[in-house]
Chain A
Amino acid sequence: MAQIFHPRANTVAIAVLVSIPVVVVLVFVVNYQLHASSYTTGEGRFVDQPVPFSHKHHVGDLGLDCRYCHGGVDKVAFAGLPPTHTCMTCHSQLFTNAAMLAPVRQSLATGIPIRWNRVYRLPDYVYFDHSVHIRNGIGCTTCHGDMSEQPLTEKKTPLTMGWCLACHRHPGTHMRDEADIFDPHVPDPHNDPRKAVAMLRHYVVETANMTDCSVCHR
């Protein structure tokens, strides 16, 4: 019988056979990379807002404290967003006719809130409490990065479960003194083991239950 296949068929057959295990491994690798990439976590993504509010200007240049607008951050789970009145305390005097601030003025007039776009979003089944972190030595820069450098708010951290767990397993290295909590320039983490132990004792943090599922999922 004459040859059925062209000599190239051998290499094609070998390629197909070899590709099966390769594809299986590839699936695992690509899946992980895709989920860890910024495409999924949204890390480093700027979010455009109805009013281009610049933290760089308000925090960096003017030196406003976080709690001025985000009042609930050390009291309740939700950090809180400034009501229109807080903006208008200054902007009723400054840049009163700037086109950029038209939505703020319109909101004040009509009583309809400004529809900001959320930058940091956690799934519904995750219960994150700002106040217990702020009151136990975790500063704003740990998760939000240096706000004084962000003209438009950017998502600085992946907020994946693995990322949160890394901190919950070694909380000490991410804790800082009370004074630095709201300081935008303090880098994180400090990686000083002695300070870590000191911080844990200072804030009386119970680490036994930090990786319990009931801490974040209810």
Chain B
Amino acid sequence: MSLVLLAEFEREEALVNAVGQLGERDYRVIDAFTPYEVEGLGGLLGASPFRVRAAMLIGGLGAAALCWFVEWYSATLGFPFDSGSRPPNSWPVFPLFPFEFGVLMAGVFGFAAMLWSTGLPSLNHPFFDSPLSDRASQDRFLLAIDIPSTARARRTLERLLADMGAEAIEEAEL
């Protein structure tokens, strides 16, 4: 896990402008911790929801196809019945069950993919060691920046953060 500097901001604008400026001074911003989704910040930091979208699509369509096959197989080959002399392969009624189950499986696969791509559940995580972590879920905006190798660069970074309105700066491990 990498050593980072955690800077706590009180307002979202301060955080966003900090990320912008640090970006220009090509510091590496590892992650941000905000009480609600800050528009675009996630994408900026390189998170890609592709896995969730792919999982939902494949999971949903796959389950639907499986259900249609179960329906078709059971109605025509498994145990064909004369039910009101309707044809065994009554395809007009077949899509209903696959649609319902497909949507459910899309949701379930999506949930699994979300957990997988966010690494949850991670009940025990070094981030929780830092005292600032509690506020991230309530009203404070944290920024995690990679610590520069030399102590001098680190001091300039801390001074820069203080100028930008950082209320507290801690060292933490992520």
Chain A interface (Cβ < 8 Å from any Cβ of B): 1-7, 9-10, 13-14, 17, 21, 165, 211
Contact = CB atoms under 8 A, between A and B. Distances in A.
Contacts of B79: 165, 211
Contact of A17 (B115, B122, B129, B131): B115
Nearest to A162: B79
A13 B129 contact: no
Interface residues on B, range: 10 to 19
Given A1-B134, A17-B115, A9 B129 contact: no
Contacts of B122: 10
Nearest to B122: A10
B128 interface: yes
5 contacts: A2-B129, A5-B123, A10-B123, A13-B121, A14-B121
B124 interface: yes
Contacts of A10: 121-124
B134 A13 contact: no
A3 B134 contact: no
Contacts of A5: 123-124
B146 to A, nearest CB: 23
A4 B125 CA distance: 10
B121 A3 contact: no
Interface in B78-133: 79, 108, 112, 115, 121-125, 128-129, 131, 133
Interface of B: 79, 108, 112, 115, 121-125, 128-129, 131, 133-134
Contacts of B125: 3
Residue among A6, A17, A165 with most chain B CB within 10 A: A17
B112 to A, nearest CB: 8
B111 to A, nearest CB: 9
Contacts of B131: 1
A1 B121 contact: no
A131 to B, nearest CB: 27
Contacts of B134: 1
Nearest to A169: B79
Listed residue (A3, A4, A9, A211) with the most chain B CB atoms within 10 angstroms of its CB? A3
Contacts of A4: 123-124, 128
Nearest to A211: B79
A6 B124 CA distance: 6
A9 B124 contact: yes
Contacts of B108: 21
A85 to B, nearest CB: 46
A17 B128 contact: no
A3 B115 contact: no
Nearest to A18: B112
A21 B129 CA distance: 33
A134 to B, nearest CB: 27
Contacts of B128: 1-4
B80 to A, nearest CB: 8
B41 to A, nearest CB: 24
Nearest to A14: B121
Given A5-B123, A211-B79, 13 more contacts: A1-B128, A1-B134, A2-B129, A3-B124, A4-B123, A4-B124, A4-B128, A5-B124, A9-B124, A10-B121, A17-B121, A21-B108, A165-B79
B124 A7 contact: yes
B124 A1 contact: no
Contacts of A2: 128-129
B130 to A, nearest CB: 9
